[in-house]
Structure 1
Amino acid sequence: MALSWGLHQELAEDATGGWVLVVGVCGIGCELLKNLLFSHIDLIDLDTNH
């Protein structure tokens, strides 16, 4: 399993074993989602500026 560069081992194990809510998928949120692996991801993006 790949780990994000800034995450410690224990935090990465907790994150991949549960649910994570990322509010605002633009900018750093998009990069975070790209680097982390989850078995289930729900994305909510209410941004109306396209």
Structure 2
Amino acid sequence: MIFSNVITTARDRIAKRRRYNALVAEIESLSPRDLADFNGNRSEMLYHAYREIYG
């Protein structure tokens, strides 16, 4: 039972990290022009990505 919980927790953390890394890569790939088109702020977007994944 304990081992199963450890495995489940590890899988959840890995999935969260993968999703976060994908969001960061997507945000980092935006050009300054893309950001300007929708009045985006890269650091705010990264902050919100972190909050979305990790709470």
Q: TM-score with structure 2 length normalisation? A: 0.21
Q: Which structure has greater helix proportion?
A: 2
Q: TM-score with structure 1 length normalisation? A: 0.23
Give the structure with higher Rg (CA).
2
